[in-house]
Amino acid sequence: MITNSNDSSDELNVTKGSHGLLVSKKKSFFASREAGLLLVILMAGVLLTFFAPSFLQKKNFISVSIGLAYDLIIALGMTLILIVGGIDLSVGSVLALTGVITTLLLNAHVSIPLAIILGLGSSALAGLITGLGVTRFNIPPFIASLGMMSIARGTATVLTSGYFVTNLPDSYKMIGRGVFLGIPYPIYATVFLVILFAYILKNWGPLAKTFYIGTNAKAAELSGINAKLITLSSYIICSLMAGIAALFQTARLGMGYAQMGQGTELRAIAAALIGGASLAGGGEGSVVGTFLGVVLLAVILNGFILLNVSIYWQGVVNGLILVIVVAVDAIQRAKISKE
């Protein structure tokens, strides 16, 4: 039949990709996608330092980190959704909704813990609804989350009548503005969540199964995996992430408003895709990759700011990066499948 295993495994090397959920082949780190991204980020950083030395200042790093923290928290949830084979366009709107609800409750002198619980509860509820739409009613995830995107954003607008909600208690604002060892709380939370997600996706049964579901939902069900429950949970978690991001953002800004988080969903999806997730079905994605994706986009945005380039170009550049990364990925996949 085919030649002995030594020969075959050389050609088969190219197919070991980012599906390393339960196991990841200890192939050379240097050949991995993550390494490539890291390289690009370092190059960008070096280039940027050359043109704008203030890039390397601690102040700048903190500001960049805060900026990317919210996107990263949401991108983690988005990565999970992409792995399970879905998509969630509503995260930005859910962020706004949670922010609005929490701040309004705080304004109504509800206790901080209760306001937080109710706020997060509303984000989980949004995820539940979207998730039920997908799993129970078989609405395509794109449509279901698009609907929720409008509903959540609309609800937030109605609740605030378009006004900014301010007057938040100082102790609440400390959640976002507090500093420990010179680093703001939100960054600790983000780091914690990144590590948590990375660990969970590889090791925690219920969520590690998402890779199976994303790869082949029917086969997953026939293998005894409760695909519907796990998918539903993923949508809830994703929206919950948006809720968590909303908490930190409203606390730091000291206000909530209905236009929060616009464009977040695209940045989160872009970051996850850059990091190795795939829109063509699921079963692929990596927390480290997503993290690097968010960092890359944040570094570029920072570059714009430091170099005084109009922010409006950010959208163009983000879009270009996304298209280029996905195109290169698609070409590589096509090459692999031809062999």
Partner 1 sequence: MGKTVLEVKGISKSFYRNKVLDDVSLSISEGQIMGLVGENGAGKSTLMKIIGGIYQPDAGEIYLEGKKVTFSDPLQAMKSGIGIVHQELSLVPNLTIAQNIFSHRERANKLGFIQWGELYKDAKAIFAQMNINIDPSLLVEHLSIGMQQLVEIAKALSLNAKLLILDEPTSALSEKEVDLLNGVLIDLVKKGIAIIFISHKLFEVFRISEVVTVLRDGKLIGSVEPAHGAQYMKLNSVKIEEVINMMVGRHITDLYPPKSSGIGKEIFAVEGLTREPYFKNINFKLRQGEILGFAGLVGSGRTETARAIFGADPLDAGKIYLQGQELSFKSPQEAIKYGICYLTEDRKSLGLFSKMSVRNNIVAAALQKFLSKFFIFKHKEIKKKSKFYVENLQITPFDDEVSVFNLSGGNQQKVLFAKWICSNPKVLIVDEPTRGIDVGAKAEIHSQLRKMAENGVGMIVISSELLEVLGLSDRVAVFSEGRLMALLDGKTATEEEAMKYSTRHVAV
- Closest approach of partner 1 to the CB of residue 292, in Å: 22
Residue 182 zone, left/alpha/beta (φ > 0; ψ -120 to 50; rest) = left
Q: Of 249, 71, 273, 268, whose CA–CA distance to 177 is shortest?
A: 249
- Closest approach of partner 1 to the CB of residue 132, in Å: 18
Stretch of 216-224, 232-240, 288-296, 297-305 lying at the interface with partner 1 (CB under 8 A):
216-224
Q: Does the footprint of partner 1 cover residue 223 (CB under 8 A)?
A: yes
DSSP 8-state code for residue 338: H
Measured at the CA of 83, the angle between CA 82 and CA 89, to 5 degrees, comes to 15
Q: Of 271, 310, 315, 305, whose CA–CA distance to 57 is shortest?
A: 305
> What H or E segment, with its residue span, contains residue 202?
helix 185-203
- Closest approach of partner 1 to the CB of residue 281, in Å: 9
Tell me which residues in 280-319 interact with partner 1 (CB under 8 A): 283-284
Position among 220, 230, 240, 271 found at the interface with partner 1 (CB under 8 A): 220
CA distance 28 to 18: 13
Position among 29, 218, 308, 312 found at the interface with partner 1 (CB under 8 A): 218
Stretch of 111-119, 181-189, 220-228, 292-300 lying at the interface with partner 1 (CB under 8 A):
220-228
Q: Which amino acid is at 60?
A: N
Q: Which is nearer to partner 1, 22 or 324 (CB)?
A: 22
Cβ-based burial of 16 (10 A; exposed 0-12, middle 13-18, buried ≥19): middle
Site string for partner 1, 162-201 (x = CB under 8 A): ----------------------------------------
Position among 35, 46, 47, 222 found at the interface with partner 1 (CB under 8 A): 222
- Closest approach of partner 1 to the CB of residue 335, in Å: 13
CB 77 within 8 A of CB 239: yes
Tell me which residues in 65-94 interact with partner 1 (CB under 8 A): none
Q: Of 204, 270, 193, 223, whose CA–CA distance to 37 is shortest?
A: 270
Position among 153, 209, 252, 267 found at the interface with partner 1 (CB under 8 A): 209
Q: Does the footprint of partner 1 cover residue 203 (CB under 8 A)?
A: yes
- Closest approach of partner 1 to the CB of residue 316, in Å: 33
Q: What are phi and psi of 180, to 5 degrees?
A: -130, 120
Q: Does the footprint of partner 1 cover residue 21 (CB under 8 A)?
A: yes
Q: Does the footprint of partner 1 cover residue 153 (CB under 8 A)?
A: no
Q: Find tokens 């909530």 and name the residue.
A: 256
Q: How far is CA 84 from CA 88, 197, 221, in A?
A: 11, 14, 13
Q: Does the footprint of partner 1 cover residue 16 (CB under 8 A)?
A: yes
Position among 226, 266, 300, 305 found at the interface with partner 1 (CB under 8 A): 226
Q: Does the footprint of partner 1 cover residue 1 (CB under 8 A)?
A: yes
CA distance 78 to 74: 6
The contact set with partner 1 (CB under 8 A) reads 1-5, 7-12, 15-17, 19, 21-23, 25, 202-206, 208-209, 211-212, 215-216, 218-226, 283-284, 339
